[in-house]
Structure formats: C-alpha cells, structure tokens
Amino acid sequence: MGSIDMALKGKIILITGGASGIGLSLTRQCHALGARILVADLRPTPAYTTFAAPHASSILFIEADDKWGDVPDFYGICAGLFEPPFSNFWDDTEEDGYKQVEVNVSHPIKLTRLAMRKSLGRGKRASVCIIASIAGISGSIAAPLYCATKHAIVGFVKSLKDTEALTGVKVTTICPGLVNTPLFTPSKVEQFSFAENKALSPDSVASHMLDMLQKKEWECGSMLELSMSGPRRIPEWNIPAPVGEGTGQELNADLQGMFKAMLKPIEAKLDSERGSKL
C-alpha cells in the first residue's frame, strides 16, 4: 500500500480548533478546495461565524456523527493550549494532572486512534495531520509543559511511520515556529518578546498542512519544520537545531533582553513560594 495521494475536493475533513488561528485558516482553505468540513471547537468565534454563515451546506460546527452519512477522509488536528494560567507548569494550580497535557497530547492521540478505527470500519483510507511545534524539537525554560506536549506528538508520529500499510491511515505532523495566533495573549506577547514580523501567518501553516494531508510525498511519519527561513523536512535521527527568526534559538544573541523577559514571571512565582534558603 503506497502513501495516500488524495485531493480534498468533495471529501470530508474534521478540523479540531477550527474556529480560530491556524485551524480557521485551514477551514477557509479546505472550503476553497471544495471539501465538506466538520469544525470541532469549544465555541464559534466571530471570525468563524462570519466566514461559515454563507456556507452552511458544506461547513458544520460541532461542540465537542456527521450529517453526510460518512466518516471523515481527513483530520486536521489544530486544537491546543500554550501555557495558559489554568494549566501552567510554573503556576501549578492543578492537582490531578495538567489540562494542557490532556488537550495537546491525549486528545490528538485518541482522535488518531478513532480515525483508524472508523476508517477501517468503513473500508476507506484517511489522512491525519497534527500540529506540533518547533518546541517539539527544542526546549524553553518559560514553557516546559508546552514543550513536553509537543515532544510527545513528535514521538507519537515517529512511532507510526510504518503503520499506514496496516491501517490505511497516514499520520504526519507539522512543527511551526512562532505563529501569529490568539494563543499569544498580551501577557505572552510581553514575556516572549513576540513581534509580528518574526512570526509565521496561520495561512502559511495551514497551506503546508494541506500538502501533508493530500500529497503522497509526505508519507506516514513525516515531520515538517516550518519557520521564517522556510520549510525543512525533519529527519528521524540527528535533528539539526532549528534556525531563523521565531524559532527561539535567536535568544542566544540577546540573553540580557528576551531571556530576562521570559524568566520574569517564573522568578516572581518562585519568589512567592520561597520560604527558606535552599
């Protein structure tokens, strides 16, 4: 069985996190290609509602099977959390695990398994692309939990590289650098020295996801790094360090500025917990 080579036109795609950010860009681009779209998100955003309203016959919002009487052919797994206040390693307000791990790791893995089960049950093939991050091949003292979740996705997709012949389902992942999405709240803009001119657009990430979903050259287990310097296929072993703006590696050139900003809230939190000298 060769790598899946299937166009989106007339097919069904399920997009998680499809109401904002990269997911919304993917929703728009899939509609332009003639796909039928299931959007799964916490709630519709104004931007999503404005776009989807005229296209009710081909775009369906679901809050969590399908009105077309079939299971999806494609899955764009875009939903994710980026060190929110309610699920943050340094703030550590949760008692029974981390919601960020559930959303960023457990949900994509479970949905991938469901995609396999549903596709096998219908005797059809499917293609899954999960958004990871350059943080999945590097690290950040300011976002250790986020980095850990993205490393998990990279490891998960690597592990499935030989499964397409068994399941008929292709699974790939994209690892973008800094992206201009709503995940960058005002506090994170300050902490991570976010600048639009150093960030990818959601449209650019979505466009590369479409290639990975549809084209056979992106075989099961493929991993794509995407930064302002352009795309780069990630080898399974001996991964070179990411390069270019928005990858986090440029911090080495300004440890007194950007790195200090990243540490500020962490140091404040640790100071509040410090009861005695170590």
What confidence score (pLDDT) does residue 146 get? 97
What confidence score (pLDDT) does residue 64 get? 40
Strands (E), 104-177: 126-131, 169-176
CATH assignment of 12-272, among 3.30.43.10, 3.30.565.10, 3.30.365.10, 3.40.50.720: 3.40.50.720
75 vs 81: CA distance, rounded Å: 19
Across 73-95, average pLDDT: 95
248 vs 138: CA distance, rounded Å: 9
What confidence score (pLDDT) does residue 65 get? 46
What is the value of pTM for the model shown? 0.89
What confidence score (pLDDT) does residue 234 get? 94
Q: What is the dihedral of CA 165, 106, 11, 5, to 10 degrees?
A: -30
- Considering only residues 253 and 172, tell me which one the structure prediction assigns the higher pLDDT: 172
Domain ranges of the chain: 12-272
Across 221-240, average pLDDT: 92
65-81 pLDDT, tens digit each: 456 778 899 999 999 99
Split at pLDDT 50, 70, 90, the class of 137 is very high
Q: Which of 100, 81, 82 is nearest to 189 (CA)?
A: 82
- Considering only residues 246 and 218, tell me which one the structure prediction assigns the higher pLDDT: 218
Type of residue found at 34:
G
Judge contact between 130 and 112, C-beta under 8 A.
yes
Across 182-199, average pLDDT: 91
110-125 pLDDT, tens digit each: 999 999 999 999 999 9
